[in-house]
């Protein structure tokens, strides 16, 4: 497997088209994480079936969030994406998130070239309200069986807020 942080960068952040690596397919209970030290995908744990991922999940190369991991993404597609691929994605917003007291934000993206959806999804407002509720419920509760109250969605932000967080995470990567 390629070392994504060596061969990719974050992409064209200013224009909202970024590179994203898929870790977890939508519907999976496998918590697959990029292991930066070994440059491989690693199964970290298996979640309860009731907390299968509501979206595909990935990361932006050459970024570091405040939790010390690459900046996470929630990838909205009609079908699950396989682990280990990368794609160009359009930034549509951000879910500001805290996990066990640490900032662990999630940039929300869609494929940059989505001919099925007619490239119509440009912002979070273009998503069904029910999907936003389901994502928020998932992230507010997915650790509740082990540690109630450990996670909290603080708010949803727009494209510009998402780009600002990406830029901050790029700077953190460069200064690591």
* 115 annotated as a binding-site residue: no
Q: Given CA atoms 98, 39, 30, 28 in this order, what sign does their dihedral have?
A: positive
- Residue 57, marked binder: yes
Cα separations (Å) of 33 from 17, 37, 121, 174? Answer: 23, 12, 27, 21
**Would the annotation count 72 as a binding residue?**
yes
Q: Is 31 annotated as a binding residue?
A: yes
- Cα 150 from Cα 7, distance rounded (Å): 34
Residue 104 marked ligand-binding: yes
CB 19 within 8 A of CB 61: yes
Dihedral (CA of 76, 118, 114, 80) sign = positive
Binding residues: 31, 45, 57, 67, 72, 104, 142
Binding residues for Mg(2+): 67, 72, 104
Binding residues for substrate: 31, 45, 57, 142
């Amino acid at each position: 497997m390629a070392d994504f942080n060596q061969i990719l960068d974050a992409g064209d952040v200013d224009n909202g088209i970024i590179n994203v690596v898929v870790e977890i397919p939508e519907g999976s209970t496998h918590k697959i994480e990029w292991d930066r030290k070994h440059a491989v995908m690693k199964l970290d744990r298996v979640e309860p079936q009731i907390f299968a991922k509501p979206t595909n999940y990935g990361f932006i190369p050459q970024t570091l969030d405040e939790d010390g991991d690459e900046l996470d993404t929630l990838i909205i597609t009609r079908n699950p994406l396989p682990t280990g691929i990368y794609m160009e994605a359009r930034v549509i917003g951000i879910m500001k998130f805290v996990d066990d007291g640490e900032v662990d934000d999630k940039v929300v993206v869609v494929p940059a070239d989505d001919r099925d959806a007619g490239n119509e999804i440009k912002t979070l407002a273009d998503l069904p309200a029910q999907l936003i509720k389901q994502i928020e419920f998932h992230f507010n509760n997915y650790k509740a069986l082990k540690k109630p109250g450990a996670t909290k969605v603080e708010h949803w932000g727009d494209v510009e807020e998402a780009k600002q967080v990406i830029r901050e995470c790029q700077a953190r990567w460069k200064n690591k």
